[in-house]
Structure 1
Amino acid sequence: MEHKIRLGIIGLGKMGISHLSIAGGNKHVDVVGVCDSSKMVGVFMEKQTPFTFYDDFQAMIKDANPEAVIVAVPSKFHAEIIDALLDSGMHVFAEKPLTLDPVVSKRLADKAWQLELINQVGYHNRFIGTFTEMAKLVESGILGNLYHFTAEAYGPVVTKSKDSTWRSKPEEGGGCLYDYASHVIDLVNYILGEIKQVSGITLNKVYSKDVEDAVYGTLELQSGLSGVLSVNWSDHTYRKMSTKLTALGTNGKLIADATELKIYLNEPVKGFSFEKGWNTVSIGKLQAPVDFYLRGEEYTAQLDYFIDSIRMKRKNGQNSFASAASTDQAIQLIRKSN
């Protein structure tokens, strides 16, 4: 009989429940424990599900003894929990951002590496076929010399003044920068190169009192390439989050979002099927199928990748703590520059 990965989940909010549903559909996983501090959640889980519930993550670590744990609690709690999990020899998948302090994130990345434990952070855009393909095309040099980029995300998360929640508390990872812009910043790091410095940053409040609802500014990469960051989670003109990355080069332009990849070539390039002018490839031709669909293939793909990394002992895979620490560093640059 095949060995199944013993998996625990800490945090049963929106993302935790999503991860639980996906993990439950993975044939290589046995969910041995779930944990949340909410008594109401605990009552529901104990009455309505077959999962063993804990209200203390240390008790889950001791009693359920999982091999791997998904951490889906507010980011301010990540460091304490992840430290304990790594000390217990457990592989960790954490929601983004990894922590609110890049120094702490780097320490956790180094610790996981030294202990040879699989580590991953939930920047799911890296598992969307259009962005994966864009990364390959940029690396191929098909655009010639890159000279500019734009990184954008818009959506209707905060469209009126609301009562206080974690989204309105910067100390808990709330605000557009941590919750929305982090995804775009991570894509820039992944596809175009790591961010070295920032300028002209504005963090605008639209409806929120204590956190920003929009982030604008210029990013400069280690390569010297610079571009524009434009993120707004108070945009009524969008039905849901829309993320787009555009790269401009001497031989054309690449545009990718969650639905399609478009490439304009001034001249065709040998070895590629793209013609001169505009070429469009839909997500359906680029996205690999998954066994369990919930919210989008990318959510299942990232967890499948995490589980496969454990089974294959793949130490430095996609979305590692180290890459997430680089994103956290860029976030800090933006916050400090405003």
Structure 2
Amino acid sequence: MIKVAVAGLGRMGISHVAIANSHPDVEIVGVCDVSQFVLGALQQYSSFACFDNYDKMIEATEPDGVIIATPTSSHAEILHATVVQGRHIFVEKPFCPQPEDSCRLAGLAKQHAIVNQVGYHLRFLATFNEAKRLLDDQVIGDVYHFQAETYGPLVLNKSSSWRGKKSEAGGCLYDYASHAINLVNYLIGMPESVRGSVLKHIYSTEVEDAVYSTLNFANGVTGQLAVNWSDETYRKMEARLTILGSAGKIVVDRQECRIYLRHKNEVKDLSPGWNIKYTTELTNPVWYYLRGEEFSAQIDYFVEQIRTKNDDNINSFASAAETDVVIDMIKQDAMSLH
């Protein structure tokens, strides 16, 4: 059994506890949070060893791996201490508020040869992975432009939570846009520059509620980023990429991957015109369902990487650091326009 400890018992932390605790190869050896209310409930209704101090939990439980779901502003300090101990780490997104910390920790994790993973769960959705396979095989020819969009109804009034606080790395750019940027880096590549970036306030005062930017790539590809977490026309967060190529087009979200081709593709057995692949036919079953298959899939992947001692990860610190660099590029570009 792989011994896992969990730090941070908010919405995502509790979800990770439930998923990891159900995994046949995992033993939850400790959970940690500063909230006495949350700890009290777990002490009363679970058998988990509960702690209000991270260092004490690590010392008492000596886990093989740690799931960190604490506020983003705390990541750099906690991650550094955990990496140098040689413990495997899954940390929630976004990685770190400062890209310098992200790049430093990515290098440190490689140096210590630990499994290192960041919780960008959209990379575990079958539809987006199907889009990646099609792009890698150049099914739509040479990509020349794309639109990356993420919308949802997360903030619909003035909020006093951490999401509305700049000091806690709140804001649509870090929380919502990071997903779209991470997908762009995964499917298209990392942009060389950004321009025309806008951080729009709708309800929040300290942080932005919407993000718009144009991304430019060294090979001439361009893209538009449009993200809004204050859009009440959506029931929950939805991410979509529209990718234009010389031989066709891909439109992909969590439900389906739609491929338009000018000519038949014999290798992939795709017809001219629209072809649709649904998530139901692409997704592998998971042993435990909570919030979505991708949340279980990413934890299973983390466990498997530990079991096989493979520190090469689809969602590594290094890939998350690239996302943080692009986030900072957009932030700096928006500031320069003011």
TM-score (norm 2): 0.98
Match of residue 208 from structure 1 = 204
1:133 maps to 2:133 = no
Question: What corresponds to 2:12 in structure 1?
Answer: 15
What are the within-5 Å matches in structure 2 for residues 69-148 of structure 1?
A: 69-148=66-145
- Deviations 1:294-337, CA, capped at 9 Å, x for gaps: 00000000000000000011111110000000000000000011
Identity %: 47
d(CA) in 1 for partners of 2:184, 2:296: 22
Q: What is the CA deviation profile of residues 19-74 of structure 1, one whole-angstrom value per residue up to 9, with x for unaligned ones?
A: 00000110010000000011111111111111000000000110011010000011
Instruction: Select 1:53's aligned residue among 50, 55, 58.
Output: 50
Encode CA deviations 1:189-222: one digit per residue, 9 max, x unaligned.
Answer: 0001112210011110011111100001101134
Contact residue 194 and residue 222 of structure 1 kept, 8 A = no
Match of 1:6 among 3, 8, 17: 3
Give the residue type in structure 2 aligned to 1:62.
E
CA drift of 1:98 comes to 0.8
Q: Distance in 2 between matches of 1:311 and 1:195?
A: 34
Structure 1 unmatched ranges of 5 or more: none
Query: How far does residue 97 in structure 1 lie from its aligned partner after superposition?
Result: 0.9
1:180 correspondence with 2:176: yes
Query: What does 1:209-288 correspond to in 2, within 5 Å?
Result: 209-288=205-284
Deviation at 1:171, TM superposition (A): 2.1
Inter-partner Cα distance in structure 2 for 1:207 and 1:242: 20
Q: Is the 8 A contact 1:9 1:16 kept in 2?
A: yes
Gaps of 5+ in 2: none
Report how many residues are paired: 334
Contact 1:151 1:229 in 2 (8 A): yes
Is the 8 Å Cα contact of residues 149 and 240 (structure 2) preserved in structure 1? yes
Residue by residue over 1:120-162, the C-alpha shift from the partner in whole angstroms, topping out at 9 and shown as x without a partner, is 0000000000000101101101111111000000010111223
Contact (CA 8 Å) 2:67, 2:91: kept in 1 or not? yes
SS, match of residue 289 in structure 1: coil
The one-letter code matched in structure 1 to 2:315 is: N
Per the alignment, residue 309 of structure 1 pairs with 305
Write the deviation string for residues 99-132 of structure 1: whole angstroms up to 9, x where unpaired: 0011111111111111110000000000000000
Per-residue CA distance 1:246-298 (angstroms, 9 max, x = gap): 11011110010000010000011230111000011110011111000000000
Cα distance in 2 for partners of 1:305, 1:141 equals 27
Q: Secondary structure at the match of 2:192?
A: strand
2:35 is the alignment partner of 1:38: yes
Aligned-partner Cα distance in 2 for 1:251–1:40: 57
Which segments of structure 1 move beyond 2 Å, counting only runs of 4 or more?
Answer: 221-224
Q: Is the 8 A contact 2:210 2:227 kept in 1?
A: yes
CA contact (8 A) 1:166 1:172 kept: yes
Q: Which amino acid aligns with 2:226?
A: S
Structural RMSD (CA): 0.8
